[in-house]
Structure 1
Amino acid sequence: MVPGRRLSLATRAAVLLGAVLCWTGSLAAAEPQKITVGSKTFTESVILGEILSKLVRQTGGDADHRKQLGGTRILWNALLRGDIDMYPEYTGTIVREILADKTISKRSDIHEALGKQGISMSWPLGFNNTYAIGVKPPLADKLGLATISDLARHRDLRLGFSNEFMDRGDGWPALKKLYKLKHEKVKGLDHDLAYRGL
């Protein structure tokens, strides 16, 4: 690898996309380098990876999109090892799961913490992708489900969440504790299958 070309392309692509992307590398080189873009196993991540790959190509680079590599830990470790050069990630996931630091509250703190690991991050994409709970409207109407706390009255409901949400500190464990949910039929599902499960 010629040092520099990777970050130069990544920087231009990130500016065009405005996404939260994580990457490794350094500045400027003369010849185009192959940029390996990674994505997680769900549709939104794959689409963001495709957009990023296209932007890398439009800035003169050669992009290889390695689709659906796995969850957060797999992508993060691939980035650290240099198996991929960049991938789209969520700031909440970076703070809670990757850095595991609840005291971080500013973007500059995230940049600083990632920088200590040799990782750079772009500006946010400009949308919020918060977890939500979905239920079919007829069932919600029948059971009077309008808020998360309403679930506590219906312990017999079968709940399904993405596998990653099941293990996140701010996922199912926190939701269960905060809303005093005592459900026993809770399954971890592949991210895309969680939606199809409804």
Structure 2
Amino acid sequence: MIRVVLADDQELVRSGFAMILEAQPDIQVVGEAGDGEAAIAAVRAHQPDVALLDIRMPGLDGIEAAKVICSESRTRALMLTTFDQDDYVYDALYAGASGFLLKDVRRDDLVHAVRVVAAGESLLAPTVTRRLIADITRNRPREGTPPSERLAVLTARERETLRLLGRGLSNAEIATAMVVSEHTVKTHVSNVLSKLGLRDRVQAVIAAYESRLIEPA
């Protein structure tokens, strides 16, 4: 059963999404919140698989709430907004979010998004992710460990896995490119995420660009 916490300051939106999700046999809404602080409290109380967070909420907004939730729990954040603006996507990705949806999302797409994120995947399509990450690393450089030092913990095969992840390849495609089994690729991906302290494939793509393993086009 996929456990979900919903956070939106508009009660009608919350109840509508809750009704859609509760109608699914494999999804349970375990908590609701009207602002970021309440969302964090609900996640701490219920430890859900997914937190569906509106970006714009009074007090603590969804992005700030996502930073806290993603840093202290295994709950995966799925962001909601009425504004299709890149800055929100950038901030949500950096906060640790695994997905990004507009509030006018279709019923089936909402359900699919929750299932995808709960399964440990990212919601953004690879081509969209690559474009966003390239823009992030080109226009919003971050301070931190020098790229060469950051990747020093990886083996040669893990570095190649990260490079292919950065290109948006699936495990099957990486297996073909590296001439190994998908099981081996899963092991490499797991090692990359663990060694670099990354939550998921979206953050791996960011790391590949930030480390200059892939240069923005």
- Please report the TM-score for the alignment, with normalisation by the length of structure 1: 0.31
Higher share in helix: 2
Q: Which has the larger radius of gyration?
A: 1
Higher relative contact order (CA 8 A, sep 6+): 1
